[in-house]
Amino acid sequence: MASAASSPVVQMTGIRKEFPGVKALDGVDLRLFAGEVHALMGENGAGKSTLIKVLTGVYTIDGGEIRLGGEPVLFSSPLQAQQAGVSTVYQEVNLCTNLSVAENIFIGREPRRMGAINWREMRRRAREALERVDLHIDVSQPLSSYSIAIQQMVAIARAVDISAQVLILDEPTSSLDQGEVQQLFRVMRQLKAEGLAIVFVSHFLEQIYEITDRMTVLRNGQLVGEWMTSELPQVELVSKMIGRDLATLEALEGENKRTLTALENATPVIQAKGVGRKGSVEPFDLSVYPGEVVGLAGLLGSGRTEVARLMFGADRADSGDFLVDGKPTHLRTPRAATSQGIAFTSENRRTEGLVGELTVRENIILALQAARGWTRPISRKRQDELVDEYIKALDIRPANPEQQVRNLSGGNQQKVLLARWLITRPKLLILDEPTRGIDVGAKAQIQKLVVSLSEEGMSVLFISAELEEVLRLSHKVEVLRDRRIIAELANDEGMTVEKIVETIAGDSREEVRA
Amino acid sequence: MSITRHRLFYPGVLLLVLLVSNVFFTPTFFNLRMQDGHLYGSLIDIVRNGAPLLIVAVGMTFVIATGGIDLSVGAVMAISGAVATHHIAGLSNQDSTAGVLTAVGMALGFCLLLGLWNGILVAVVGIQPIIATLILMVAGRGVAQWITDGQIITVNSPAYKLIGGGYKLALPFAIFLAIAVLVFAAVISRRSALGMLIESVGGNAEASRLAGIRSRGLILLAYVFSGFCAGLAGLMISSNVSSADANNTGLFYELDAILAVVIGGTALIGGRYFLVGTLVGALTIQTLTTTILTIGINPNATLLFKAFVVFVMCLIQSPAFRAKVFRRRQRPASPPAAPASKEQHVRVPA
């Protein structure tokens, strides 16, 4: 590639950044070239987010040098970075969904005429900006009327329109489906051809190998190295990221087929009969047996999360009955569900899971304490014992129970959430996307944990967009489409990801014909 | 370096600066003397006069920690004083201990109900706290006026006078009440899991619900306690002057209490709360009020002066502001904003 020979657009050398008690970045280098897609790889907590925030002016550096187009720069605000040509699109789309598409693209820099906003000009330029990302939508509609994927494209259009030198995409694909990912990749290739340097952060390795040209790997805040993507095989990449051999991963690969025997005579831990909620999920039947892992598979928006929320009482079912251990039970509130030994970790860790301001310790004991009520506090000694035990067992890092949980990386936050429920010793653990947005190492640990919990007799309802993962862990798979459970597939010898995909997709074609 | 990082460093320094600056106007400011077995001095006055504010602010701290706010405390104070004096005024022997205790019990009981009313509006009906408590803030004055029949009720009851104006062990009785409330609140909330669960609900209500926390009861409890605290403070103020004034008792107290909580480091959006911070905040507000009185600022300018000092204090406490002003120009040792307020002191009496 010709551009690789030329000098880099961005050259970061020896970057250091410290937070109280943590070396977040310790001598990290990063080079970005025009016309290249550069992958930033590393586990959660490796320093990817910090490095991005340093480059975009959110954090100031404690050491090292950033050169942009050869000139040393020092950004002290995201605005400065944007003006210099560095734009970012974050994992969670941070636009104002109540404003129109055009307003979102031009917010803070509206085209004006005699002091007043020139709306017509704004809409025209918004359409132009969207054309660059191959999007043709009504720009006067509120952003909320479009899907997450479109909102993401709008965010990218905005970023590209503001400055066209360096574009940083932080986990842009984590909430997109396959077709939407391909649409995003088309746009990325087009922008690359226009000479942008693009940084791409993703936990999906296949995507990394499909779209990126070059990659930088970080581990524990330090630089591991820079490679051309085509020259670093996937297996080597993973071992460089986690810094240890792949035994844990391979061990899991081996147990692809899991079936439970002698279930027929057992009483289900939970049985839903005709449970549903208008506008959310059609009435469904679902039984989970002791020690069974039930996977929920389906496309984004197919009703997976809604099923989980009904089973936990997070949303109230308006039809059907629940049997817990064979006895009719109402699950109207999360509190009612937890007292029946049901636990639930939401896919939205930050908004529906953790209390960011509280410490790791407090977050871990929260559910147990809630079950006991405020008048019966868990003694501090007992708290410390429990918390230390689970910090060790789940390898939560940093292993400091008094750290505010918001300072932890995504994977470690997920583990704190798991620990919160594990100390309550639930009968049924409902996990909604527990491995989304977390790194390979933590992912393997969580998968292994699910297997060993089910071997100890705990039942698990497991939701994931990654069908391989669902198939690897589950005894049976419930397939959802259009807010309905359409099939229950036993995970026996003949079951494959392809068959699940066919079930999700195949029937829909029949229905279209019908 | 580490001491400046402490949460209470700036509030503490501000309080000290405020106290020390008083010496310029009243050289005997820090003097304490015994007279008739009672301890006297400006510091004692500050703590005594600040006791009702501290009590209200302690109650307010819990409400704010849940993510709410209680605007009705001033009105509740007026109601409390009105109920108690109204009962005492009707007694044949106004100094009878039993009669005064009944009056106090009635007043506090009624304030608990008012707190419960606020709590129900917020936690059960689901009205936004600022609106829900605004109802009682407005209506409460009316209730107090209704009880007093629009008159200022005066009583002659040494037993009642004890609460806000009496002495025990050489110190004003009000100080013991304030300390009792503060310690009670700290022990109950930190020895049980109440504090943590309230912080959890205030920090992230939805996550708390999904963790199985029943927030309704916790929020109710916070408003009930705030009502109780306001009631007690109202009794202290009414007792101190042996009368009840429905129009003026507790006027603007809600704002002082909120300010005390915020100066103490508890964020208005809820979550973590700091009772010791609230103590420092309440003392700061009271010191400021006392300072204004002792240095003789034109009464028409006191509110403006108070607002200005509070504004400066809030700026100094803001990390973002400090970073902007103090870090950027470290070379010229620019005078921080606090001395500027001292210049203000000099100018006004002149």
- DSSP states of A273-327 as a string? EEEEETTTEEEEEEEE-TT-EEEEEE-TTSSHHHHHHHHHTSS--SEEEEEETTE
- Name the minimum distance, in Å, from the CA of A379 to any CA of chain B: 9
pLDDT above 50: residue A78: yes
Cα angle: A227, vertex A413, A480; to 5 degrees: 90
The per-residue pLDDT for A253 is: 46
Helical pair B302-317 and B337-347, crossing angle rounded to 10 deg: 170
Looking up tokens 């977050």, which residue turns up? A363
- Distance (Å, whole) CA A456 – CA A490: 21
pLDDT above 60: residue A84: yes
Q: Which two tokens stand for residue B226?
A: 């705030």
Which listed CATH number (3.30.70.100, 3.40.50.300, 3.90.870.10, 1.20.1600.10) goes with A2-241?
3.40.50.300
Cα separations in angstroms, B255 against B56, B71, B262, B339: 11, 8, 11, 25
- Distance (Å, whole) CA A350 – CA A412: 12
Chain A positions in Cβ-Cβ contact with residue B200 (cut-off 8 Å): 355, 358, 362, 366
- Name the minimum distance, in Å, from the CA of B16 to any CA of chain A: 29
- Name the minimum distance, in Å, from the CA of A371 to any CA of chain B: 7
The per-residue pLDDT for A336 is: 92
Chain B positions in Cβ-Cβ contact with residue A375 (cut-off 8 Å): 192-193
- Distance (Å, whole) CA B129 – CA A215: 51
Q: Which two tokens stand for residue B282?
A: 């309440």
**Residue B254, SS3 per DSSP:** helix
- Distance (Å, whole) CA A320 – CA A317: 7
Q: Which one-letter amino acid corresponds to residue B332?
A: P
Burial class (CB in 10 A: 0-12, 13-18, 19+), A90: middle
The per-residue pLDDT for A490 is: 86
**How far is Cα of residue A288 from the mean position of the Cα atoms in its chain?**
26
Average pLDDT for chain B: 86
Report chain A's C-alpha Rg in angstroms. 24
Q: Kindly give the pairing relationship between strand A63-68 and strand A10-19.
A: antiparallel
Q: Decide if B194 touches A, using CB distance below 8 A.
A: yes
Chain A positions in Cβ-Cβ contact with residue B203 (cut-off 8 Å): 355-358
- Name the minimum distance, in Å, from the CA of A380 to any CA of chain B: 10
- Distance (Å, whole) CA B155 – CA B103: 12
pLDDT above 90: residue A303: no
CA nearest A481: which of A514, A511, A510, A504?
A504
Q: Decide if B28 touches A, using CB distance below 8 A.
A: no
The per-residue pLDDT for B343 is: 37
Cα separations in angstroms, A146 against A88, A128, A142, A300: 21, 18, 8, 15
**For A350-382, what is each residue's pLDDT tens digit?**
889 999 999 999 999 999 999 998 999 999 999
Q: Which two tokens stand for residue A77?
A: 């605000």
Binary contact (B212, A346; C-beta < 8 A): no
Chain A interface with B: residues with Cβ < 8 Å: 312, 314, 333-335, 337-339, 344, 346, 351-358, 362, 366-367, 369-378, 420
Residue by residue, what is the 3-state secondary structure of B6-60? CCCHHHHHHHHHHHHHHHCCCCCCCCCEEECCEEECHHHHHHHHHHHHHHHHHHH
Chain B positions in Cβ-Cβ contact with residue A358 (cut-off 8 Å): 196, 199-200, 203, 272
- Distance (Å, whole) CA A105 – CA A187: 17
CATH architecture of the domain B41-293 equals Orthogonal Bundle (1.10)
- Distance (Å, whole) CA B263 – CA B278: 7
Cis peptide before A398 (omega within 30 of 0): yes
Q: What are residue A23's phi and psi, to 5 degrees?
A: -90, 100
Q: Which of A337, A351, A355 sits opposite B200 (nearest CB)?
A: A355
Same fold, A2-241 and A245-341+427-514: yes
Binary contact (B207, A352; C-beta < 8 A): yes
- Distance (Å, whole) CA A215 – CA A201: 10
- Name the minimum distance, in Å, from the CA of A2 to any CA of chain B: 43
pLDDT-derived band at A278 (thresholds 50, 70, 90) equals confident
pLDDT above 80: residue A301: no
Helical pair A440-455 and A247-254, crossing angle rounded to 10 deg: 50
Cα separations in angstroms, A2 against A9, A33, A104, A494: 14, 10, 36, 49
The per-residue pLDDT for A183 is: 83
Binary contact (B204, A351; C-beta < 8 A): yes
Task: Read off the pLDDT of each residue in A495-505 and give the average, rounded to a whole number.
Answer: 78
- Per-residue buried b or exposed e for A42-78, using 16+ beta carbons within 10 Å of the residue's own CB: bbbbbbbbbbbbbbbbbbebeebebbbeeeebebeee
The per-residue pLDDT for A33 is: 92
CA nearest B160: which of B247, B89, B251?
B89
Q: CA-nearest residue of chain B to A420?
A: B211
Task: Read off the pLDDT of each residue in A255-270 and give the average, rounded to a whole number.
Answer: 64
pLDDT-derived band at A243 (thresholds 50, 70, 90) equals low
Q: Which of A163-167, A254-258, A268-272 has the lowest mean pLDDT?
A: A254-258
Task: Read off the pLDDT of each residue in A152-177 and give the average, rounded to a whole number.
Answer: 82
**For A445-491, what is each residue's pLDDT tens digit?**
889 899 989 988 899 999 988 888 888 899 999 998 878 898 898 88
- Name the minimum distance, in Å, from the CA of B214 to any CA of chain A: 7
One DSSP character per residue, A104-159 reads HHHTTS--EETTEE-HHHHHHHHHHHHHHTT----TTSBGGGS-HHHHHHHHHHHH
The per-residue pLDDT for B322 is: 79
- Distance (Å, whole) CA A34 – CA B40: 77
**For A30-41, what is each residue's pLDDT tens digit?**
999 999 999 998
Q: Taking a C-beta distance cutoff of 8 angstroms, is the pair A299, A179 a contact?
A: no
- Distance (Å, whole) CA A104 – CA A97: 8
Cα separations in angstroms, A224 against A12, A213, A502: 15, 17, 41
Binary contact (B199, A355; C-beta < 8 A): yes
Between residues 244 and 283 of chain B, which touch chain A (CB distance below 8 Å)? 271-272
3-state class percentages of chain A: helix first, strand second, coil last, to nearest 5 = 40, 25, 35
The per-residue pLDDT for A44 is: 67
- Distance (Å, whole) CA A377 – CA A367: 12
- Name the minimum distance, in Å, from the CA of A363 to any CA of chain B: 9
Q: Taking a C-beta distance cutoff of 8 angstroms, is the pair B122, B129 a contact?
A: yes
Binary contact (A358, B200; C-beta < 8 A): yes
Q: Taking a C-beta distance cutoff of 8 angstroms, is the pair A500, A471 a contact?
A: yes
Q: Taking a C-beta distance cutoff of 8 angstroms, is the pair B306, B289 a contact?
A: yes
3-state class percentages of chain B: helix first, strand second, coil last, to nearest 5 = 70, 5, 25
Could you tell me which residues come within 8 angstroms of residue A406 by beta carbon, excluding any fewer than 6 positions away? Answer: A350, A354, A356, A357
Cα separations in angstroms, A27 against A68, A69, A224, B96, B176: 18, 21, 11, 78, 58
- Distance (Å, whole) CA A305 – CA B299: 63
Q: CA-nearest residue of chain B to A346?
A: B210
Cα angle: A392, vertex A394, A400; to 5 degrees: 50
* Class of CATH domain A245-341+427-514: alpha beta
What residue ranges do the domains of chain B occupy?
41-293, 295-350
**For A180-199, what is each residue's pLDDT tens digit?**
888 889 888 988 998 899 99
What residue ranges do the domains of chain A occupy?
2-241, 245-341+427-514, 351-425
Q: Taking a C-beta distance cutoff of 8 angstroms, is the pair A459, A492 a contact?
A: no
Helical pair B194-203 and A360-372, crossing angle rounded to 10 deg: 110
Four-point Cα dihedral B172, B173, B175, B181, nearest 10: 180
The per-residue pLDDT for A239 is: 74
The per-residue pLDDT for B268 is: 87
Binary contact (B197, A335; C-beta < 8 A): no
Q: Which percentage of chain B shows pLDDT scores above 70?
A: 92
Interface confidence (ipTM) of the complex: 0.81
Binary contact (A374, B210; C-beta < 8 A): no
Could you tell me which residues come within 8 angstroms of residue B46 by beta carbon, excluding any fewer than 6 positions away? Answer: B283, B286, B287, B290
Binary contact (B212, A338; C-beta < 8 A): yes
Other beta carbons within 10 Å of A429: 25
Q: Which of B191, B206, B218 sits opposite A352 (nearest CB)?
A: B206
pLDDT above 90: residue A383: yes
Binary contact (A371, B214; C-beta < 8 A): no
- Distance (Å, whole) CA A292 – CA A429: 11
Helical pair A360-372 and A380-394, crossing angle rounded to 10 deg: 120
pLDDT-derived band at A254 (thresholds 50, 70, 90) equals very low
Looking at chain A, how many residues does it have? Answer: 514
The per-residue pLDDT for A407 is: 85
Chain B positions in Cβ-Cβ contact with residue A374 (cut-off 8 Å): 192-194, 197, 218
Q: Kindly give the pairing relationship between strand A270-277 and strand A428-432.
A: unpaired
Q: Which two tokens stand for residue A417?
A: 């959430």
In the predicted model, residues of chain B with pLDDT beneath 50 are 1, 330-350
- Distance (Å, whole) CA A275 – CA B55: 50
- Distance (Å, whole) CA A484 – CA A501: 16
Q: Which of A339, A370, A375 sits opposite B211 (nearest CB)?
A: A370
Q: Decide if B213 touches A, using CB distance below 8 A.
A: yes
pLDDT above 60: residue A262: no
Q: Which one-letter amino acid corresponds to residue A432?
A: D
Bridge partners for A272 per DSSP: A286, A322
Q: What are residue A323's phi and psi, to 5 degrees?
A: -115, 125
The per-residue pLDDT for B305 is: 84
In this complex, how many residue pairs, one in chain A and one in chain B, have their CB atoms less than 8 Å apart? 81
